[in-house]
Amino acid sequence: THTHWILFMFLLTLQRVAPGGEAGVWPMPRKMSEGSERYALHPQGFSFRYGRDSSAQLGCSVLDAAFRRYFALCFPENTVETDRLSVSAGHGELTANTVWGALRGESHFRDLIIRLSRNLFLKIEDFPRFQYRGILLDTSRHFLPVRTILKTLDVMAYNKFNVLHWHVVDDPSFPYQSQSFPDLSNKGAFHPQSHVYTQADIRKMVSHARLRGIRIIPEFDSPGHTQSWGKGQPGLLTPCYKGLHPSGTFGPVNPTLSTNYNFMGRLLKEVSTLFPDPYIHLGGDEVDFSCWKSNPDVRMFMKKMGFGTDYGKLGSLYFKNMMNIIETLNKTSVVWQDVFDYHSSPKSLDVVEVWKAGCYMCEVRRVTAAGVRVILASPWYLDQPGPTHEWSRFYTVRPLAFTGTEHQKRLLIGGEVCLWGEYVDGTNLAPLLWPRASAAAERLWSDEAQTSSVSQAYPRLAAFRCKLLRRGVQAQPLFVGHCKHEYEDL
C-alpha cells in the first residue's frame, strides 16, 4: 500500500459562528476531535492539492474527479458571504493508504466545511468496520433508468457505501443486453430498446461507480428466478410436466444438459469482462424443485447419477458446474444462503449472502463455522415500506452478535441493504432508500459502541438528511420538522 498525502490550501478566516447545531457527519468517524476555533472557507482561496510526497499526483483520475466534485459540493453557487475577522493562510492534510481511502476521508472533510463551523485542524482517524457495505438494486421487477442508478451511486458515496449489488435480471424481465446472446433482452426485456441496459450503459455505470470508490457486483441469479431468460434462450429452462405431458410452463434452468453450461460459460465470460469486479453473484435462491421432479428426463438423470430423490444434490451439481465456470474466469462467486443450505459440500463455497428472516444469526454462525465468508442482508430489507422512523430498526442491528470465534467474526465481511423491486421504480426509489439506508451505512462503517444510541443518532441523521436535500437528493423526512433548503422538485 502507498501513502497518499493530499494537501488542502485555503484562506483561513477566523469567524463568529453561532454555536450549537450538528454538522451532520454521517456515518460517524472513529475518532474526531473538535477545536473550538472556527474557520471560514472561501472559494477563491481554497483548493485541493496533492501532497508533495503523495504517490498519487495530478493525473490520478479518481482523485482529480473527486476534487472537482467536492469543490462544487463545498461551494454551492449561493454560498452566503460572511464577515471576516482576520485572515491568515492555512492548510489541512488528509492521509490515506489508497485513493479509495482518500475519497472517503475526504467526504468527511467536506462535511465539516459546509456549515463553516468546525476547526479544520481537527484530527479525524477513520476506517470502516466492514469492508463490504452494499446496496442491492433490482432492475428486473421494474426497469430503473440509467440516470436513477447513477444518482443512487452518488448518494451511496455520500454514505460511504462501497458495493452496488446489481440484481440485473430475474423472472419478470431480462434488461441486460448481451452481445453474445442478444435474444435474451430482445425477447426477455420489458421492451427490447427502451427497457434495456446496453454495454455502453454498463461501462458508464462501472466507471461512474469507480470514480466514487464503489464496486459493482452483477448478479445473474440461476437456476431459479429465470423465467425471463427462457424467452430468448430455448432449451435453457426445464419444461414442467403434468403427468406424461409437458404442461407448457417452465421451471428452473435445466441442470441436466451440458449445452446449458456452455451457454452459462459464454454469458458469464462476457459479464466478467464487462464488470471488472472480482466478485460475481450467482444467486441460487428459492429454487423450486417441483418442476424438476415432474420432468421425466430430469428424473432419469437423477437415477443415473444415483441422487435418489434428493434434489438438493442436483442443485449442488448445478452449482459445482457454475463454480467451475467462475473459477476459470478467475472470479469469486457469491451465492444466496439457500445454496449453502442444500449444498452437499457447503465448505467449497466462496461467499454466502444471508437473507432470510427469522434467526439469521443462526445462519451466520453456521456459515462462518464452515469457514465460509458471509454478507448479511436479512435485517436490511428496505423494500417493505413503513413510516421512516423505522430507520431505527435498521440502525439497531448488531451484525456480530452471534456466538463464534474471532475467526468466525472476521468471516462476516459486511452487510447489504436490499431494495427489491416489486413496488419500486424510478418514481419512488430515492425516498424509499434514503435516509433509511443511511442507518445501515453507519452500522457498517462506524464503531458500534460509539453509535449504539438511536436518540443520539437522530439529530445527526436529521442534519445529514437535510444535507442530502441540499445536494438534490430526494431523501424523505425522519419526522416532523424542516430543512433550511427543502427539496423543490417532484
Partner 1 sequence: PAPPRLAGLGYGSLWLRLTVTPVGTSGFSQCVREQWEEVPQLGESRFGSLWPLPQNVVISPVAFMLRSSSFQIVHSAESSAGPGCSILQSAFRRYFEYMFGYTKNQGGNTKKGQDSEVTELQVWITSADSECDAYPSVTSDESCEFPEPMNFLIFFTCFLFACFYTPLLLLGLETFSQLVYEDQYGAKKINKTDVQDFPRFAHRGLLLDSSRHFLPVKVILANLEAMAMNKYNVFHWHIVDDNSFPYESTVFPDLSRKGAYHPYTHIYTPTDVKMVIEFARMRGIRVISEFDTPGHTQSWGKGQMDLLTSCYSGENPTGSFGPVNPILNSTYDFMAKFFKEVSLVFPDTYIHLGGDEVDFTCWKSNPDIQAFMQEHGFDKDFKKLESYYIQKLLDIVGSTKKGYMIWQEVFDNGVKVRPDTVVEVWMGSNYQEELQNVTAAGFSTILSAPWYLDYISYGQDWQRYYKVEPLAFKGTDAQKKLVIGGEACLWGEYVDATNLTPRLWPRASAVAERLWSNQNVTDVGDAYNRLTQHRCRMVARGIPAEPLFVGYCDQEYKGL
Q: Which residues bind partner 1 (CB under 8 A)?
A: 141-143, 145, 147-148, 151, 172-173, 190-191, 194-195, 384-390, 392, 421-428, 430-432, 454-455, 458-459, 469, 474-482, 484-490
Write out the DSSP string of 40-103.
E--TTT-EEEE-TT-S--TT-HHHHHHHHHHHHHHS-TTPPP---SEEEEEEEEEEESSHHHHH
Nearer of residues 92 and 172 to partner 1, judged by Cβ: 172
Q: Which three cell numbers stand for residue 388?
A: 421512516
Helical (H) or strand (E) element with 464? helix 454-470
Question: Shortest gap between Cβ of 462 and partner 1 (angstroms)?
Answer: 8
Question: Shortest gap between Cβ of 431 and partner 1 (angstroms)?
Answer: 4
Nearer of residues 244 and 480 to partner 1, judged by Cβ: 480
Closest CA to 229 of 180, 262, 270, 184: 184
Summarize the chain as % helix, strand, coil (round to 5). 40, 20, 40
Question: Shortest gap between Cβ of 136 and partner 1 (angstroms)?
Answer: 16
CA–centroid distance for 222 within its chain: 20
Nearer of residues 260 and 476 to partner 1, judged by Cβ: 476
Nearer of residues 164 and 432 to partner 1, judged by Cβ: 432
Closest CA to 399 of 357, 447, 361: 361
Q: Distance between CA atoms of 234 and 445, rounded to whole angstroms?
A: 45
Choosing from 93, 125, 286, 422, which is the catalytic residue?
286
Distances (CA, A) of 189 to 172, 285, 408: 8, 21, 41
Nearer of residues 119 and 392 to partner 1, judged by Cβ: 392
Q: Which residue has the cell 442478444?
A: 182
Question: Shortest gap between Cβ of 442 and partner 1 (angstroms)?
Answer: 17
Classify residue 453 as exposed, middle or buried by CB count within 10 Å of its CB (0-12, 13-18, 19+): exposed
Nearer of residues 3 and 428 to partner 1, judged by Cβ: 428
Question: Shortest gap between Cβ of 51 and partner 1 (angstroms)?
Answer: 38
Question: Shortest gap between Cβ of 141 and partner 1 (angstroms)?
Answer: 4
Q: Is 286 a catalytic residue?
A: yes
Distances (CA, A) of 418 to 157, 165, 249, 277: 17, 9, 29, 19
> In terms of DSSP bridges, do strands 31-32 and 132-138 run parallel, antiparallel, or are they unpaired?
unpaired
Question: Shortest gap between Cβ of 189 and partner 1 (angstroms)?
Answer: 9
Nearer of residues 172 and 213 to partner 1, judged by Cβ: 172
On whether the CB atoms of residues 31 and 58 are closer than 8 A, the answer is no
Q: Which three cell numbers stand for residue 304?
A: 443415473
Question: Shortest gap between Cβ of 426 and partner 1 (angstroms)?
Answer: 4
Q: Which three cell numbers stand for residue 28?
A: 460517524
Classify residue 242 as exposed, middle or buried by CB count within 10 Å of its CB (0-12, 13-18, 19+): exposed
DSSP, collapsed to helix, strand or coil, labels residue 332 as strand
Q: Which three cell numbers stand for residue 487?
A: 427539496
Nearer of residues 184 and 469 to partner 1, judged by Cβ: 469
Q: Would you name the residues annotated as active-site residues? A: 286
